[in-house]
Structure 1
Amino acid sequence: MSASKPKESISRILKNVLNKSEQEFVAGRRNTVLQTLNKLKIQCSQKEVPNIALLGSGGGQRAMVGLLGSLVQLDKAGLLDCILYLSGVSGSTWCMASLYKEPNWSTKLETVKDKIIERIRGPEVSLTDPMAKLKKYYYGKDLFSLTDVWAVMVVMSYVKEIDEHTLTEQRKQHNKDPFPIYAVIDKQSKQSNDGDPWFEINPYEAGYSLSGVFVDTGDFGSQFHKGSKIKHQDEFDMLYLQALCGSALGDEVDIKKTMWQKIKAFFQNETTLEAMREEERERTDKAMRKEKKTEAIEADTISDASDDPISPPLDECHRAFMDLVNMNLSVLNGENPSGFDKSIRTNLNDLSGGKRPLISTMETLETADIRPEKQYINRFTMEVCEYLSSQIQNWLFDAGISICKCMAQWIWGRKYNFLHNMTDEGVKSTLLQSETRDYIDAGVLLNSPYFSVLREDRDIDLIISLDFSQGDPFMTVKDAAETCKKLKIPFPEVNITSEDKKKPKDFYVFKGQNTPTVIHIPLFNVVNCGDEVEDWRKKYRTFQGAYSAEMIADLMDVAGKNISNNREKLKEQIRAVIEKKRFG
């Protein structure tokens, strides 16, 4: 962008002040909350209207279905329109994306719920659709990462659709719904433990919740320099957003195994291989037609085939590629990968005509029977990919190579940094220096979006935390309290008894002076599951395939009971925060 052109877009640095559009939304929503409280016969003036945030934790499809079941019961209890903000991480965002696809979904939740359930218990999307979507992602942006792959190979298998809508399209479509906030974290900030890792995305803005720096959501991902946009990137769609938010279905080893298995299944599928072959046939035919045309025009000139070389046989390159995938899987499974190593080197040696295209770092596997270190296998993968990428001109094969490179480098959610080279003393310098940032599932740091609603400018009075976590059902609220204490953010003390850890109940309230009230609701507890809490946890693990229709119905019911059983307690706490505002 030349200096003479006007600035297209500028990053916003305005701490403790809400975006104007959000201010307008909140003002209108607070009127709805007031009318709802009057219907519930809860006395409240305009000034006393409580700002209530509902949080959905991560937990894969368990969180998606659990949040849906909870919202349905909040609606039946007449409490849904008391909610000002709805924020989620990971699996809860899959539910949110499905809901906000429908304008003013909360006015027709029963109908919307039926549509979502029918979809997620239905058949998977056919392979040709994710293949086409992968092509769009691969060619449609400067920065391709595993998040694009996760969207088409994993998230799609749970949500059973390709949602190409964007967040900015939802502006003005949800004035009767809670304000949505999708939460992720900045990977570099998490790793360095320096700065603000909590990152939020809503229909209007995307940015760092606590640092107070934001960019228009439509420009998140575009390239910026000193606060001005210099290169536009198309806004990501809702399928990608669900992948960005929901990729922490297990620890890193589990995710890597899943990714390599998905890559293997996708690229060894005959439909994929046939698509590669068809593209290769078309490319070869085009090259031959070009050569014949040249010969016809210049009959006395021998055509130089090097101008448009014919690739080595695709099947041989594909075989080496699949050996590489299997080799990575064998390493993760603790198996000896030397057989795949030998096959790869033999295959590529043949393809190169005996010129040994690979450097000596591969040699150690030939005789070793120990598992190679992570650094070694990553380097090995990059070397094989570099050679294969020079051999085949085929978008699907190129995409496979790029995916393997991303796996070796473990690149997720890479975006241009909208703060690049800005200067602001109130923002950590580490946020301003790098050209790109990586954004990942918030569940790897805190499996609930507390810090999106704990922004001072949102002035939240009551937080209702729905916890769908697989492990300790109190970890999210305990970690939030501990982090808030370090950051000097008002948050109540959280004390959990040893008895509660063993036998969690369905409703906890934490209060403090000059802090929001926090209601914490574990999904599986002794009230809705009796003595079978562990059985329910084992049945609904995070890291498993899509749930059956029966499992979805049972989970909806269990999650809903946590709301229906506590309708009066919820109203009691709403009254309490109103009293606190009235006299506090």
Structure 2
Amino acid sequence: TDLSVCLSDKRRIKPFLNRSEQEFVASRRNTVLQTLKKLKIQCSRKEVPNIALLGSGGGQRAMVGLLGSLVQLDKAGLLDCILYLSGVSGSTWCMASLYQEPDWSTKLETVKDRIIKRLKGPEVSLTDAMAKLKKYYYGKDLFSLTDVWAVMVVTSYVKEIDEHTLTEQRNQHKKDPFPIYTVIDKQCKQSSDGDPWFEINPYEAGYSLTGAFVDTCDFGSQFHEGSKKKHQDEFDMLYLQALCGSTLADEVDIKKTMWQKIKPCPPDSDKRGFPSDDPIPPSVDECYRALMDVVDMNISALNGEDTSGFDESIRTNLNDLSGGKSQLIDPMKTLETADKGAEKRYIKRFTIDVCEDLSSRIKIWLIDAGISICKCMAQWIWGRKYNFLHNMTDEAVHSTLRQSETRDYIDAGLLQNSPYFSVLREERDIDLIISLDFSDGDPFMTVTGAANTCKTLKIPFPEVNTISENKMKPKDFYVFKGQNSPTVIHIPLFNVVNCGDKVEDWRKKYRTFQGPYSAEMIADLMEVAGKNISNNREKLKEQIAAVIEEKRLSRFNNFLNKD
């Protein structure tokens, strides 16, 4: 039964793999079997291991690192052993680039050269970026900072505007690993209720552990009690990359970057590359100045500077526009005190009030969009979508997931910077997880975090003990095994094997929140990431053989127990 039909029939569906994924898995397992024979690893059809490759977050470092790792897996003859490829944040940027090309893994060297050529090339022009922002602004009911992040930030790294959709890729990748993009549900994360882990693949999107899914082309459409009320066009791949990769630094850094990025150009922007088609009313200059003051006020607040001058300037501008006193909240006396929390609340409320005042005065798209963006900034709205579980009556779906008409989806790195919970779905029956970790800081945080969460949720996962490991000088290959759980191979990007005694130097050179990498940096990072695979080819083969042997013993024991 197709899941979208189940939802429209007002029926809750239990966790299972949809028919398209089942068919893919069956076909891909045949490919894996043939690959194992080439590697001279003994394996019967029933013992073929389900292997998942995970790419963590880490901005462009993760994007390039995953690409370098995949290239070496291909050269080692191991790429066709992989059943699933799942990514978080920056790793999804690499995935999106690869899956543009049908059956990319059969011509990876050519695809890799094309991607690197693009990454070394020019950025998307301001004209094209603004045209894309306008499409996003007018093309959907729910506009959020993710749209702005896609156009203003993600394009600066990936160097393109990819307007294809994920569902266009159906049946184009029969020779590639099955792709899973992952995000988290912001409300579930904040409330610690429900299921925060959310996955998106070419066929369906939904909550990994709850088992509630919708057809990917309907993710974002408006639903009520399981039936679709209003269709929204499927988002494109640029937006998907922004949805997955929207946390490159802490919140203050992001806010500073975003406030700077969203400064709209003046209405006479014909001198700046993107003229407005709309007639310009005489009040537009005052509206523009007021909006710029709102932006600068927020930037100053983040920098700990005095904002009272902006407050006065905004009020003066709006009073001039209205010919009298504008209806804004009164100046807050505590702005001059040390109560920073009260100041933040005031600036948030003041920003929203000013934006609503300006919205009633002007309809030039660029400034109108700027007003909407400022409101999103003040309320910190990212990845807002209609909730396809809204008001479903089946109590198997957590009440947290049923109550609100909309949900916000954000970068999974804010909770778990590696997509373990997409591949730990029981029905995917994963035997071996290869975790490529491109994270900042603690090189074991993702695997220990996954282990701790699995223990709480009673999901089979091996015990992870890294107390004796030097976090500043990790090795390049760790194996964690447990009873009745998948084997986990954990590979930190920068380690004492591929970086020698310069691990910290590499970390400092490739920070998450920095401008796009140079051609030389990309080449060096590709090489160092690739070494983690080439140096461990035999160890990877050994672990693949080991999980096959475990499956063989398990089948034998089950046979004996039946007798």
Name the TM tier (shorter chain). over 0.9
The residue aligned with 2:480 is 510
Residue 511 of structure 2 aligns to which amino acid in structure 1? Answer: R
Q: Kindly indicate whether residue 175 of structure 2 is the aligned counterpart of residue 176 of structure 1.
A: yes
Residues 72 and 416 (structure 1), Cα distance of their counterparts in 2 relative to 1, 3 Å cut: same
Residue 80 of structure 1 aligns to which amino acid in structure 2? Answer: L
Residue 448 of structure 1 is aligned with which of 418, 425, 429? 418
Give deviations 1:94-140, integer Å, cap 9, x for gaps.
Answer: 00000001000000000100111111111111001111111111111
Residues 493 and 178 (structure 1), Cα distance of their counterparts in 2 relative to 1, 3 Å cut: same
Give deviations 1:423-454, integer Å, cap 9, x for gaps.
Answer: 22322111111111111000000000000000
Residues 269 and 126 (structure 1), Cα distance of their counterparts in 2 relative to 1, 3 Å cut: farther
Alignment of 1:395-544 (within 5 A): 395-544=365-514
Residues 97 and 278 (structure 1), Cα distance of their counterparts in 2 relative to 1, 3 Å cut: closer
Residues 277 and 391 (structure 1), Cα distance of their counterparts in 2 relative to 1, 3 Å cut: farther
Q: Which structure has the greater CA radius of gyration?
A: 1
Query: In 2, distance between residues paired with 1:34 and 1:44?
Result: 7
Moved more, 434-443 or 364-373: 364-373
Residue 315 of structure 1 aligns to which amino acid in structure 2? Answer: D
Residues 170 and 340 (structure 1), Cα distance of their counterparts in 2 relative to 1, 3 Å cut: same
| 2:448 alignment partner, SS class | helix
What's the TM-score, normalizing by structure 1? Answer: 0.91
State whether residues 312 and 392 of structure 1, in contact with CA within 8 Å, keep that contact through their aligned partners in structure 2.
no
The residue aligned with 1:23 is 22
| 2:40 alignment partner, SS class | coil
Alignment of 1:126-205 (within 5 A): 126-205=125-204
State whether residues 12 and 396 of structure 2, in contact with CA within 8 Å, keep that contact through their aligned partners in structure 1.
no
Query: In 2, distance between residues paired with 1:237 and 1:23?
Result: 25
Query: In 2, distance between residues paired with 1:497 and 1:55?
Result: 23
- Give the RMSD, CA atoms, in angstroms: 1.9
Residue 539 of structure 1 aligns to which amino acid in structure 2? Answer: K
Query: In 2, distance between residues paired with 1:541 and 1:277?
Result: 36
Residue 304 of structure 2 is aligned with which of 334, 345, 350? 334
State whether residues 470 and 542 of structure 1, in contact with CA within 8 Å, keep that contact through their aligned partners in structure 2.
yes
Give deviations 1:49-83, integer Å, cap 9, x for gaps.
Answer: 00000000000000000000000000000000000
Q: Tell me, which stretches of 5 or more residues in structure 1 are unaligned?
A: 1-5, 285-310
Query: In 1, distance between residues paired with 2:302 and 2:10?
Result: 42
Query: In 2, distance between residues paired with 1:570 and 1:37?
Result: 12
| CA apart distance, 1:369 | 8.9
Residue 558 of structure 1 aligns to which amino acid in structure 2? Answer: V
| 1:502 alignment partner, SS class | coil
| 2:471 alignment partner, SS class | helix
| 1:214 alignment partner, SS class | strand
The residue aligned with 2:363 is 393
Residue 121 of structure 1 aligns to which amino acid in structure 2? Answer: K
| CA apart distance, 1:468 | 0.4
Alignment of 1:560-575 (within 5 A): 560-575=530-545
Residues 270 and 102 (structure 1), Cα distance of their counterparts in 2 relative to 1, 3 Å cut: farther
Residue 444 of structure 2 aligns to which amino acid in structure 1? Answer: F
| 1:206 alignment partner, SS class | strand
State whether residues 50 and 574 of structure 1, in contact with CA within 8 Å, keep that contact through their aligned partners in structure 2.
yes
Query: In 2, distance between residues paired with 1:366 and 1:227?
Result: 47
State whether residues 11 and 213 of structure 1, in contact with CA within 8 Å, keep that contact through their aligned partners in structure 2.
no
What's the TM-score, normalizing by structure 2? Answer: 0.94
| 1:526 alignment partner, SS class | coil
Q: Kindly indicate whether residue 29 of structure 2 is the aligned counterpart of residue 60 of structure 1.
A: no
Once the two structures are aligned, what percentage of the paired residues are identical?
80
Residues 229 and 272 (structure 1), Cα distance of their counterparts in 2 relative to 1, 3 Å cut: farther
| CA apart distance, 1:386 | 1.2
Residues 360 and 432 (structure 1), Cα distance of their counterparts in 2 relative to 1, 3 Å cut: closer
Query: In 1, distance between residues paired with 2:254 and 2:524?
Result: 27
Residue 205 of structure 1 aligns to which amino acid in structure 2? Answer: E
State whether residues 13 and 212 of structure 1, in contact with CA within 8 Å, keep that contact through their aligned partners in structure 2.
no
Residue 104 of structure 1 aligns to which amino acid in structure 2? Answer: D
The residue aligned with 2:550 is 580
Query: In 1, distance between residues paired with 2:337 and 2:159?
Result: 44
Residue 267 of structure 1 is aligned with which of 265, 268, 285? 265
Moved more, 331-340 or 439-448: 331-340
State whether residues 163 and 238 of structure 1, in contact with CA within 8 Å, keep that contact through their aligned partners in structure 2.
yes
